[in-house]
Chain A
Amino acid sequence: MALTGGADTTARKAKWWFVNAVVVVYALVPVLWIASLSFKTKETINDGNFVPREWTLENYRAIFGTSEFVRALVNSIGIALIATAIAVVLGTMAAYAIARLDFPGKRALVGVSLLIAMFPQVSLVSPLFEMERGLGLFDTWPGLILPYITFALPLAIYTLSAFFREIPWELEKAAKMDGATPAQAFLKVIAPLAAPGVFTTAILVFIFCWNDFLFAISLTSTERSRTVPAALSFFTGSSQFEDPTGTICAAAVVITVPIILFVLFFQRRIVAGLTSGAVKG
C-alpha cells in the first residue's frame, strides 16, 4: 500500500516536472531565441543554431548608430515616464478620495473607471487623430502622452483603490493624537504604507505606456515622436537588399530586457498589483 503510494508520487512528481519543463520552454524559448538572433552575425543568422556560433554586437552597434532608433528610444522613455508620473499622481488623488471619503456615487465611480479601462482604444484613434491635427498635437510628445494618461488613469485608480482599501487609516488618527501634525502623520505613517501600492501601480502603468503600439503608429508620423514599438514595425521594410532580422531582434531585445528585468526584480509587488483587482485581501 505504502509502496504503491510511493511509486505513485514518484510518477506524479515526474509528470509535474515534465509539464513544468514544457511550460518553461513555451514561455522562455521565444525570448531566448530573439536574444540569440540579435547576437548572430549576418552570415550565421539563418543557421538555426540556438547558441550563436559567432557572437557579435554588430546588430546593436547598427541600431544605436542610427538616429532613427536612438530617437525612438528617447521618445519611448520620455513619453512613458511623463505619462506614468501624471497618471499616478492624478490616480492617487482619486483613489485616496475613493478609499477614505464617503460620498454619493462612489460605487458607480469605480465601475465607470473599470468601464473606461475596457474601452476599445481603436475607437478613439480616428477622433484623436482629428483633434490632434486640429490642435497641432499630432506627432508630438503630448500627442501620445495625453491618450496614454487617459487609458492609464482608470487602471491606476482601480489598482490604487484596491491597495488603499487595505491601509489601516486609523493609524493616522492615532499619530495625530500622539501629537503629530497632519503633515507629519501623513508623511511618517500613511505615505510609507501607501508607497508600495503607488509604486506597483506606476510599474503597471509604465509597462502599459511602453508597450503601446496602436496609438504609437497612428498618432505619429516622424522620428520626432515615434516610439520604439512603432519604429520597430518600420524597420521591416527599411531596405529590401539587407536582411533586417538581426537589427529588429536587437531592437526588440533593447525594449524587452528592461521590462523583464523590472518585472523579475519587483515580481512580488507586480503579482500583488495584478491580483489586487481580482482577489480580496
Chain B
Amino acid sequence: MSAGDGMTTTRRGDALAAARYLAPAALVLVGLLGYPMYQLVLISFYDYGQEQASAGAPLTFIGFDNYQRLFSEPQFWGVLGQTVAFAAACVAGTLLVGGALAVLASRVRAVPRTLLFLAALGAWATPAVAGSTVWLFLFDADLGLVNEVLVGLGIHDMAGYSWTYDKLVAFALVAGEVIWCSFPFVMVTLYAGIRAIPAEVLEAATLDGASTWRATRSVVLPLLRPLIAVATIQSIIWDFKLFTQIYVMTGGGGVAGQNLVLNVYAYQQAFAASDYGLGSAIGVVMTVVLLVVTLFYLRALRRRGEELA
C-alpha cells in the first residue's frame, strides 16, 4: 500500500520535472509545426491564389473544392502513380545494393572494409544538390563522362544521347543518384545487424552442413528481418518525399512535367502556379499517406520488441 503510494508520488514528481524539460521543445513544435499544419489544412479549404497572397484580395471559403479539383485531375493520379512506382524502385534498389554491401562488408578484411565504408560515407555525406548536379554532369548528353566512355567502348549510338529526355530513362537516372546517396544508410544498419549475430549460430549452421547461401537464407535473413523492415520503411518514407533530386536533375519535373513526383507537384502548384489552395490540398494528401506508412513503421518497431522509450 505505502509502496504503491510512493510510486505514485515519484511518478507525479517525475511528470512535473518532465514537463519542465519538455516544455521548450513542445513550445517550438506546437508553434512551428502545429500552427503551420493548422494553416495548411485551412488554406486547402480556400480559393487561395496570387491575388489573395500578395494583393490581399478577400478569401473565399470553397470547402472541399480544391480536393475535388485535385481528385478529378488526371495529372494528379498520374503523378501519384509514378511517385509510388518511383519510390518503390528506389527502395528496392537501395535495399538490394545496401544489403549486398552489408554482407560484403562482413566478409572482407579490415582494409577493404574500411575502403568500402569510406566510399559509402562519402556518397552519403554529399549534399543532395551537389550530388544531383554531379550526376547531371556525368550523364550530360554531349560533355558527360558516361557517354564518352560508352562511345569509347564502341557504342557509337551513345554520342549525344540525352539521359533526361525519355521519361523512364530520366527516372532511372534520378534513381541511380537516389540509390547512390541512400544505400550507405541501409548498408551501415544491416552491417551492424549482421555483426550482432553471434558467430556460434553461424558456426553451428556450417557444422550442420549448410552452404553459405543456405545459412544466409535460413539463419541470417530471419534474424535480420526486423532490421530489414525498419530500413525498408525508413527508405519508403525518404523516397516518397524526394524533392531535391527530381527538382534539380529533371529541371523541376522533366519535359512537360513527365517526371513529376508528388512533392515537386505540390511545390509547382503552390509556387510556380501560385495556387496555394491546391498546393496545400496536395500537402494534406501527402501527409495522410505518410502518416499511414509511419504508423506501420511504429508497429514494425513494436513487433520486434524495440522499446521506443
Contact = CB atoms under 8 A, between A and B. Distances in A.
A167 to B, nearest CB: 14
A175 B184 CA distance: 41
Contacts of A116: 29, 33
A274 interface: yes
B57 interface: no
B67 interface: no
A103 B26 CA distance: 15
A29 B185 CA distance: 19
A41 interface: no
Interface residues of B, number: 97
A93 B24 CA distance: 8
B28 A252 contact: no
Contact of A101 (B21, B180, B267, B294): B21
B122 A130 contact: no
A118 B294 contact: yes
Given A101-B17, A109-B309, A27 B189 contact: no
A107 B308 contact: yes
A281 interface: yes
Contact of A252 (B130, B193, B306): B130
Interface residues of A, number: 93
B128 to A, nearest CB: 6
B220 interface: no
A150 B126 contact: no
Interface string B94-131: 00010011001001100010011111111111111111
26 contacts: A23-B120, A27-B120, A33-B145, A34-B134, A48-B143, A50-B145, A90-B28, A94-B24, A107-B308, A114-B294, A120-B290, A121-B243, A122-B283, A123-B284, A125-B267, A126-B276, A127-B36, A127-B43, A130-B43, A131-B35, A131-B39, A232-B133, A245-B143, A255-B127, A256-B125, A274-B189
Interface of A: 16-17, 19-20, 23-24, 26-31, 33-34, 37, 45-46, 48, 50, 90-91, 93-94, 96-99, 101-104, 106-107, 109-111, 114-116, 118-131, 146-147, 149-150, 153-154, 157, 161, 165, 207, 210-211, 213-214, 218, 229, 232-233, 245, 248-249, 252-253, 255-256, 259-260, 262-264, 267, 270-271, 274-275, 277-281
